[in-house]
Structure 1
Amino acid sequence: MIASSLEDALIDLGCVVIGPALNMSDAIRLAREAEMDGASLDVNIAGEKVYAVADILMERGIPFVFMTGYGNAGLRESDLSRPVLQKPCSLARFVEIVMGWR
C-alpha cells in the first residue's frame, strides 16, 4: 500500500516509475542499467540489505532516499549523509526530497 501511494505521488509529479524491484537481482539490474533521476530504496528487500544497490547508484551519481523502519540505526556509517524516511513515511517529505532531484 505504501509503494502504491508513493508511485501515485511520483506519477502526479510527472515521473515515470520503473520499479518496484521485488528482489535484489532486479534491484541491482535496474541500478546498473536503467535511466533514472533518483531512487527510493527500502533498506530490506526480501530479507536482503540494499547496500549493493546504494553503492551502484552512488557510483553513477544518482540520488536516492532510504526508506526503513529502523531509522538511521539500519544504515551503514557511509550512508548516514543520505536522506532517510522512517516508515511509515511522510508522503509530503518524500515529495520534497524527489523535487530536490530536479
Structure 2
Amino acid sequence: MAEMSGARVLLVEDEGLVALMIEDMLDELGLKVVASAAHLKKACQLATTASVDVALLDVNLAGELVFPAARILRARSIPFLFSTGYGGPALEEEFRNAPAIGKPFSVDQLSDKLRTLLPPP
C-alpha cells in the first residue's frame, strides 16, 4: 500500500456519509483528499483547477451524470475511477472502458482499483 501514499485525490460524491466513508478508506490507504464536490458544477470547476493525481467520481450526482467532469480530467490526463451504486446508470459509450467500482466496495477493492491507475513510485 505504501506506493500510493501521498497521492492527491479529487473525491466527487453526493452522499455525505458515503463521502466520509470513502475519505476514511483513502486515508487508510495513505491517499489525501485535497478537493471534494457533491454537485456537478463544483466537480467541473475542481476538475479544471485542482492539482490532483487521481479522481474518484460518483457517476450519478443527485440526478446529474458526472461525465462532463470526467471529460475535463481526461483532457488533463488525470486518471479517474467511476463509482456506481447498484442499478446506477450505465457508463456512456465513450467511457465504457473506463475503470469503475460498484458501491458498496471494500477498502481492498478500492486499493486494487486505484493501484492500476496510479503510476508506480
With normalisation by structure 1, the TM-score equals 0.86
Residues 25-70 of structure 1: CA deviation (Å, up to 9, x unaligned): 1100110000101011111112111010010011011111111123
The 2-side partners of 1:6 and 1:27 are apart by 16
- Structure 1: which 5+ runs fail to align? none
| Higher mean displacement: 16-25 or 30-39 | 16-25
Match for 1:6: what amino acid? Answer: I
Counterpart among 42, 50, 57 of residue 73 in structure 2: 57
Let me know the Cα RMSD of the aligned residues: 1.6
- Is 1:66 equivalent to 2:78 in the alignment? no
- After the TM superposition, which residues 78-89 of structure 1 pair with which residues of structure 2 at under 5 Å, given as runs? 78-89=94-105
3-state secondary structure, aligned to 2:56: strand
- Structure 2: which 5+ runs fail to align? 1-16
Q: How many residues align structurally?
A: 101
More helix by percentage:
1
With normalisation by structure 2, the TM-score equals 0.74
More strand by percentage:
2
The 1-side partners of 2:27 and 2:105 are apart by 18
Counterpart among 50, 55, 79 of residue 39 in structure 1: 55
